Amino acid sequence: MRDLQVESRAQDDWYAIIDLVTQSVDSPHSKRAYSRALLDFLDWYEANGRPGFSKATINAYREFMLQNGKSRASINQALSAIRRLATEAADNGLVSPVLAYGVERVRGVKQEGVRAGNWLDKEAAEKLVNTPVYRWQRKEISALKAVRDQAVLAVMVGTGLRRAEVASLTWEMIQQRDGRWAIIDLIGKRARVRSVGIPPWVKLALDQWARASGVRHGRIFRALNKDGRLAGKVRTKGGRYTDGNLTPQAIYNIVEEHALAAGCVNSRGEVALAAHDLRRTAAALALKGGADLRQIQQMLGHASMTTTERYLEPMRSLQVTASDFIQIELALDGPT
pLDDT(178) > 60: yes
- State which amino acid sits at residue 30: S
Cβ count within 10 A of residue 270: 9
Q: What is the pLDDT of residue 318?
A: 66
N-to-C CA span, the chain: 70
- Quick: pLDDT tens for 85-126: 888 888 877 778 888 888 888 888 876 544 446 889 999 999
What are the boundaries of each domain within the chain? Answer: 11-104, 122-317
- Quick: pLDDT tens for 202-216: 999 999 999 999 999
Q: Of residues 335 and 41, which shows the higher confidence score?
A: 41
- Quick: pLDDT tens for 38-68: 899 988 988 898 888 889 999 999 999 888 8
Specify the pTM.
Answer: 0.66
Q: How confident is the model at residue 6 (pLDDT cuts 50, 70, 90)?
A: very low
When pLDDT is averaged across residues 262-285 and rounded to a whole number, the result is 90
Q: Which CATH superfamily groups domain 122-317?
A: Intergrase catalytic core (1.10.443.10)
- Just give the CATH number of 11-104: 1.10.150
Q: What is the pLDDT of residue 7?
A: 36
3-state secondary structure the chain: CCCCCCCCCCHHHHHHHHHHHHHCCCCHHHHHHHHHHHHHHHHHHHHCCCCCCCHHHHHHHHHHHHHCCCCHHHHHHHHHHHHHHHHHHHHCCCCCHHHHHHHHCCCCCCCCCCCCCCCCCHHHHHHHHHHHHHHHHCCCCCHHHHHHHHHHHHHHHHHCCCHHHHHHCEHHHEEEECCEEEEEEEECHHHCEEEEECCHHHHHHHHHHHHHHCCCCCECCECECCCCCECCCCECCCCCECCCECCHHHHHHHHHHHHHHCCCECCCCCECCCHHHHHHHHHHHHHHHCCCHHHHHHHHCCCCHHHHHHHHHHHHHCCCCHHHHCCCCCCCCCCC
